[in-house]
Chain A
């Protein structure tokens, strides 16, 4: 996958969420689905929501790596990529050209 793509959160207001500890529960107005995200999924979602113009995958990894709760292992980038793809499957993230 090209890192020249950016990942975006859904439009502001279309998703309601609630933080419980490190987890999020979310409600998607468009689908009526409720989702439960663990710590990494929550962090990825919030990072995208905080960056309205989106984040490239590498920038997303750098951003999350600054959080001491997350691993700096070599596999972390792959974990983030898998997570953002999972979020995309749930319509909680979309990919756009940079």
Chain B
């Protein structure tokens, strides 16, 4: 996390009194509705700028203007999402918090995708062999070496090609799940389910190979 998240640009929008009432006007027609939408956009832009500012280290090639354009785009997209899902708001948090999460999602996804835009995503499953460098070091005992071999064998034999692809890309190659979803024409939720199922299969394989503690 950066030393300070108090970007002066985002601090300008402080909490406003009556923040929890105005959102009801988002359903209204005319000036009241327009003012409420403008207020909403201001909140979303604040959150998007906050997120872009936090993650700016991964976008060092972008100028301040380009970073702000990214935040603006995220706020615009978040506003569309919030307005489309207004009826989903059940009051289990404040409206401000509920709205913020849309802007943070849009901004974080845009930052990750922009950071990886010109980077190759290796989808060749053979790259899981890089696990050889992720396991125990030379001083580790034979049991650890056996565990590593069980994991490698599990990746090789217990997973479907798609599960292997997602597990290797996200865990070993460090590809953000949103970036991988974009490249595979999928979505985060679907890929995470694949990842979850891959982990379950891998644990079962490793447990059966003599390491039941991985399922405890």
- Tell me if chain B binds chain A: no
A binding-site residues for B, Cβ under 8 Å:
none
